[in-house]
Amino acid sequence: MAIWTEKFRPKTFSEVKGQQEIVRRVEAFVKQKNMPHLLFAGPAGIGKTTLSLVVARTLFGDEWRENFLELNASDERGIDVVRNKVKDFARTRALGNVPFKIIYLDECDALTKEAQQALRRTMENYTQTCRFILSCNYSSKIIDPIQSRCTIFRFKPLEQKDIIDIIDIISKKESLKIGGEAKKALFDVSGGDVRRLENVLQASAAISKDINNKLIYSIASYARPGEVKTILEHCVNNNFNEAKRLLLKTMLNYGLAGLDIIKQLQQAVWKLELDDRKKLEMSKACGEIEFRMIEGADEFIQLESLLATFILICQE
């Protein structure tokens, strides 16, 4: 069975969802068959690689594979990659009537500083025969000389209406039955990440064609929002034992790690009917406990400490 992230990848500009302004500007470059070096920055799974492939397909047609080099900098991040693979591809002319090739460098914020310094000269020297599309999660990790050579586009997570449009397209093609609550659950677990959305949806469809929110939460190892809210309500009502019992039960039922549940607790804090100052203190406590767990502290002890802190804040 095909992986849905590839099966449903958009092939044209009109199919790309959620980045309309960026798509419009990039499409204008492509129509002129002339574009600067591009830097795509933003979270994972929101269309950076997809848009790069659409650019290549639109420019080069059937010959796009011969004129498009894709490298993942997280696997090959040394200076030798820039000196050898990139330069060898960049120095030859493109096939067809487009005057340049395209090199797509994914996760380029993983490149070493030395490799980035070598890349800046390559971008400058081979401008006549090659354009670069750089993709990264954090543009601040790219050195300033490279940023100044590129037109920067900042991608954002997809909104709920765009995620629902994608769900509708997939459900129609795969003959799935997905209700309104299930769509909301898919948006919650994906967080605007289309790659995660499609993986969760494919795993759910392998179990049942009639997809509901309970199935989605279990597949995604994501606690149901109602259960997380109940945990916090026990804290508000000064019921530590019940809050602890339900927290441990939820973590075991869904196979959640401490870092998973703490993110959901932090999001749910802002939906409580409490004074805003108390919400700020509770959010601050989440940040402190998350840091301790990342540093290696026992997650169950830290989560119990967090619940106790919540109760003390609410009783002030």
- CA torsion angle 58 67 142 287 (round to 10): 60
The whole-number pLDDT of residue 1 equals 47
Residue of higher predicted confidence among 150 and 110 = 150
- Tell me the sheet residues that pair with 68: 102
The whole-number pLDDT of residue 81 equals 66
The whole-number pLDDT of residue 78 equals 64
User: Average pLDDT in the 191-218 region?
Assistant: 88
Q: What angle do CA 183, 187, 188 make, to 5 degrees?
A: 115
Q: Rg of the chain over CA atoms, in angstroms?
A: 24
- 243 near 231, Cβ under 8 Å? yes
pTM for this one? 0.82
The gap from C-alpha 55 to its chain's centroid, in whole angstroms, comes to 20
Q: Tell me the pLDDT tens digit for each residue of 49-108.
A: 999 999 999 998 888 888 898 887 666 656 666 677 777 888 888 777 888 999 898 888
**Mind listing the domains of the chain with CATH numbers?**
19-154 (3.40.50.300), 160-219 (1.10.8.60), 225-315 (1.20.272.10)
The whole-number pLDDT of residue 113 equals 84
pLDDT at residue 2 greater than cutoff 80: no
The whole-number pLDDT of residue 312 equals 93
Question: 308: which 2 tokens?
Answer: 């106790």
Q: What angle do CA 221, 223, 228 make, to 5 degrees?
A: 160
- Tell me whether residue 132 is exposed, middle or buried, using C-beta atoms within 10 angstroms of its C-beta: 0 to 12, 13 to 18, 19 or more: buried
Q: Tell me the pLDDT tens digit for each residue of 248-292.
A: 998 888 888 888 899 889 989 988 888 889 999 999 999 999 999
pLDDT at residue 311 greater than cutoff 90: yes
Average pLDDT, the chain: 87
φ, ψ for residue 8, nearest 5 deg: -105, 15
The gap from C-alpha 159 to its chain's centroid, in whole angstroms, comes to 13
